[in-house]
Structure 1
Amino acid sequence: MSFLSKLGFDFVLNCTYPFSKFLTLEQFLFLGLLALTISLYFLFPYLLKHRLGIIAMFLLVAGGLLNGVERLATGCVKDYFNFFNLFHFNIADLIINTGILVSVYILCKKK
């Protein structure tokens, strides 16, 4: 079985949130807002100094908005990429992860 055959398309409605087995929705939202506040205070000003950083911030915000709007509109997020039957994700997730990778690259890059 080839790599590409394992990476398939599979429509899944994701109506849960990360760590939903361990956290209430209120706890998850609080931790998310705390992480966002810390990121805005420490990470984003540093990223604004770099051209790639602006792209990374755009990707992070755009992906978050795409998932957020879909979850608010439907109560779920539609995931359609199946990765080795381990997890499902969508285009917004790819955008967010690309933004994270670019951010890590900028933070680790030597001056």
Structure 2
Amino acid sequence: MATGVLLHAIPVVAQETEAALEEVFVEAPVVRRQVSARGPTGYTTEMIQLKRQFSYADLDLTKESDVKELEKRIEMTARAACEALDDMLDHDRQDATAVYRCTKQSIKQTQEELEALVAAAN
């Protein structure tokens, strides 16, 4: 099973205000699992993917406190996506270890892009 979350920072122009809104898209990875199905092998592969987004337009990434807030939002969004992904895997109960690993890997994978956002702001 693949785990992780992708971060995409995309400026979006609002039609009414024409102001740029900064949004972060947090995407849980494609997860593959085999499920029973009628077919030549008796199994089929199911792929699951989640996408979450939030705005950081209210943050000034030249300030350390706002960078910390963005990191916190990324962590919270990654955790929520990983928890939802874990729930979709039909476990009787949530696997805290899998969610923890997914969240940590997701945050690690976003580090380079987060640094680029902060560098662009400075």
Question: Considering the TM-score relative to the shorter chain, is it more than 0.5?
Answer: no
* Structure with greater helix percent: 1
Hey, which of these two has a bigger chunk of strand by percent? 2
TM-score (norm 2): 0.27
Larger radius of gyration: 2
